[in-house]
C-alpha cells in the first residue's frame, strides 16, 4: 500500500482502522458464497459520515477505487475486491438514533445489523418490514444498497419500499442528505430510491431513515407437502385472496430438504417425502391460526400438513427452509442464480429448468428453493467448476424467454454482468451508464459492478 495514502487514511480514521495485514483482511475479502474473493489493497473503517467523506476524497486523489462493504453477506461478488481496490467497511457506523415510536420511523447508521434493529424496535411495538436469514450479519446500509428482499416481500415490499430518506457520500466527497425524510416530498428526482439497489456504484450510504411496520407477534406457520409447484401456487392464491395476514409463501423441494436434514440433523417433517413443500406464515394482532387452518382444511391432506403457533415450533418449521443456504454451502461452492418469473410461469420454469439442465449441463446438481409468493426462485447449482458458465447461461436465457428477471433480490454484482442485457434494454443500459458517469466520473466506487465502463472513453451521445 502506498505509504502516503496510508498515512493520510490513518490520520482520518485512526491507525488501528486502516488494516493491511493479510490475516485481518481475510474476512473482508471473501463473500458468503466463498466463490468470490480478491485481494484488497487495504481495509479502511471510518467511524462516521465526515470520515467517510474524507476517506473518499483521499482515495479519489490517489486514484484508488473503493468497494463499500456492510456485513459482507452478498451473494454476487459485489461486496469484495476484484483487483486491488480498498475495502471501505461501514460497520462502525452502528448508531441507532431518532427512533420515533409515534410515527413508526427510525434513523440508523449504515452499519447497524438487521437483527439489532429488530431487537431495538420490537419491544416498542414496531418491526422492520424486511426480514431475511442473514439478519445477524446483514447491515441496514448494505440492505438498502442492494435493495434486499427476503421472506416478507409479498406483504411489505423490498428494502426500497421501507426507505423514507438517507444520507450518502458521493464520489467527490460531497454529502447528500435527505434526512430525516418526509412522507410527502415531491421535489424532483427520488435520490434515495435511485441509490437503493445501486450496489455501491453511485454513492456510499451512511445513514438511513426507515418506515417501520407494526410488530405482529401473533403468528402461525403452516408446512404443507404437495404434488407440484402448480398445486402450491393454487394454495398461495386461495390463502392470499382470503387472508390479508399472509406474510410469507416459500417453497422447497425434496433434494434441498434432504441436504438440510443431513446437515442439521433435523427429523423429516412428514412420514413420506413430497415433490414440493410450501411454507406459509400469517401474522396479525390476534392469533391467525384458526383462520389459516380453516382455509387450508378443504385444500390439503391432513397427513401432509403441519401447523405451528408457538415460537419454537414455528422456528422448527422455518429451519427446513431457512437452513438451505448453509446446507448447500456445506456440500460445495454453488453457482447461485436468483431469478424471478411472472407467477403464472413459475411452475413451467421449475419443470423446464430441470430438463434444460439435464440436457445441457448434466453434471449440475440443481437445488431449488425460494419465495413462491413473489415468483422468486433461488436456483443453486452444485457440482460445477467455478468458471464454467454453461449452466448459468442456460438457466438465465430460459428465465428471459419466459419474461422473468435474471436477478430478483441479490443484485447483479459481478456474477450476473454478462446476462444483464437479457432483461434490460439498450435504452435502460444507456440511462444507467449515463447516471454512473455523471455521479462517479473517475470510476472509484465499486468499479466493475453491474456493468463495465471505460471511464477514459467519452460518453456516447446517442443510443446505439
* Closer residue to ligand 2HG in complex, CB, 220/327: 327
Q: Tell me: does residue 340 bind ligand 2HG (CB under 6 A).
A: no
- Cα–Cα distance between 382 and 392 in angstroms, integer? 12
Q: Tell me: does residue 336 bind ligand 2HG (CB under 6 A).
A: yes
Q: Tell me: does residue 323 bind ligand 2HG (CB under 6 A).
A: no
- 3-class DSSP assignment, residue 98: strand
Choose, by CB under 6 A, the member of 201, 325, 340, 446 that binds ligand 2HG: 325
Choose among 107, 104, 135: nearest CA to 119.
135
- Cα–Cα distance between 219 and 208 in angstroms, integer? 28
- 3-class DSSP assignment, residue 237: helix
Q: Binding-site residue total for ligand 2HG (CB under 6 A)?
A: 5
* Smallest gap from residue 150 Cβ to ligand 2HG (A): 7
* Closer residue to ligand 2HG in complex, CB, 5/279: 279
Choose, by CB under 6 A, the member of 133, 258, 291, 306 that binds ligand 2HG: 133
Cα distances (Å, whole numbers) of residue 395 to 353, 398, 400, 406: 6, 5, 9, 9
Q: Tell me: does residue 261 bind ligand 2HG (CB under 6 A).
A: no
Site string for ligand 2HG, 367-406 (x = CB under 6 A): -----------x-x--------------------------
Choose among 463, 231, 268, 250: nearest CA to 368.
250
Q: What single string gives the DSSP state of each residue in 377-396?
A: EEEEEES--TT--HHHHHHH
* Smallest gap from residue 325 Cβ to ligand 2HG (A): 4
* Closer residue to ligand 2HG in complex, CB, 365/378: 378
Helix (H) or strand (E) holding 276: strand 276-284
- Cα–Cα distance between 397 and 356 in angstroms, integer? 11
Q: Tell me: does residue 152 bind ligand 2HG (CB under 6 A).
A: no
Q: Tell me: does residue 73 bind ligand 2HG (CB under 6 A).
A: no
Helix (H) or strand (E) holding 227: none
* Smallest gap from residue 126 Cβ to ligand 2HG (A): 24
Which stretches of the chain bind ligand 2HG, using CB under 6 A?
Answer: 133, 325, 336, 378, 380
Amino acid at each position: 500500500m502506498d505509504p502516503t495514502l496510508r498515512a493520510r487514511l490513518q490520520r482520518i480514521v485512526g491507525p488501528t482502522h486502516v488494516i493491511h495485514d493479510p490475516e485481518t483482511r481475510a474476512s473482508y475479502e471473501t463473500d458468503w458464497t466463498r466463490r468470490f474473493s480478491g485481494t484488497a489493497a487495504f481495509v479502511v473503517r471510518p467511524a462516521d459520515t465526515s470520515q467517510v467523506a474524507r476517506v473518499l476524497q483521499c482515495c479519489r486523489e490517489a486514484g484508488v477505487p473503493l468497494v463499500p462493504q456492510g456485513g459482507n453477506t452478498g451473494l454476487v461478488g459485489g461486496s469484495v475486491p476484484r483487483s486491488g481496490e480498498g475495502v471501505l467497511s461501514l460497520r462502525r457506523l452502528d448508531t441507532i438514533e431518532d427512533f420515533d415510536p409515534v410515527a413508526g420511523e427510525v434513523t440508523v447508521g449504515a452499519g447497524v445489523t438487521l437483527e439489532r434493529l429488530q431487537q431495538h424496535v420490537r419491544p416498542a411495538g414496531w418491526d422492520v418490514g424486511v426480514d431475511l436469514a442473514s439478519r445477524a450479519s446483514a447491515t441496514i446500509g448494505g440492505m438498502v444498497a442492494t435493495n434486499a428482499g427476503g421472506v416478507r416481500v409479498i406483504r411489505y415490499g423490498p428494502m426500497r419500499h421501507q426507505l423514507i430518506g438517507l444520507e450518502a457520500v458521493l464520489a467527490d466527497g460531497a454529502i447528500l442528505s435527505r434526512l430525516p425524510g418526509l412522507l410527502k416530498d415531491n421535489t424532483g428526482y427520488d435520490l434515495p430510491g435511485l441509490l437503493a439497489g445501486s450496489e455501491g456504484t453511485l454513492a456510499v450510504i451512511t445513514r438511513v431513515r426507515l418506515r417501520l411496520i407494526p410488530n405482529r407477534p401473533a403468528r402461525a406457520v403452516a408446512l404443507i407437502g404437495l404434488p407440484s409447484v402448480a398445486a402450491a401456487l393454487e394454495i398461495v392464491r386461495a390463502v392470499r385472496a382470503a387472508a390479508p395476514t399472509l406474510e410469507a409463501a416459500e417453497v422447497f423441494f425434496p433434494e434441498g430438504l434432504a441436504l438440510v436434514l443431513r446437515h442439521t440433523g433435523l427429523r423429516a417433517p412428514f412420514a413420506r417425502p413430497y415433490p414440493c413443500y410450501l411454507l406459509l406464515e400469517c401474522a396479525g394482532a390476534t392469533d391467525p391460526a384458526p383462520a389459516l387452518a380453516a382455509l387450508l382444511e378443504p385444500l390439503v391432506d391432513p397427513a401432509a400438513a403441519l401447523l405451528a403457533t408457538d415460537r419454537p415450533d414455528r422456528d422448527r418449521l422455518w429451519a427446513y427452509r431457512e437452513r438451505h443456504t448453509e446446507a448447500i454451502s456445506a456440500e460445495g461452492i454453488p453457482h447461485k442464480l436468483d431469478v424471478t418469473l411472472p407467477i403464472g410461469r413459475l411452475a413451467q420454469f421449475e419443470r423446464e429448468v430441470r430438463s434444460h439442465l439435464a440436457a445441457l449441463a448434466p453434471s449440475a446438481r440443481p437445488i431449488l428453493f425460494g419465495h413462491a409468493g413473489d415468483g422468486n426462485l433461488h436456483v443453486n447449482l452444485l457440482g460445477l467448476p467455478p468458471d464454467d458458465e454453461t449452466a448459468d447461461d442456460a438457466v438465465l436465457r430460459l428465465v428471459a424467454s419466459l419474461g422473468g428477471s435474471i436477478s430478483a433480490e441479490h443484485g447483479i454484482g459481478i456474477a450476473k454482468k454478462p446476462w444483464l442485457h437479457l432483461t434490460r434494454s439498450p435504452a435502460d443500459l444507456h440511462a444507467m451508464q449515463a447516471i454512473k458517469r455523471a455521479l462517479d466520473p473517475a470510476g472509484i466506487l465499486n468499479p466493475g459492478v453491474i456493468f463495465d465502463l471505460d471511464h477514459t472513453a467519452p460518453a456516447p451521445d446517442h443510443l446505439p
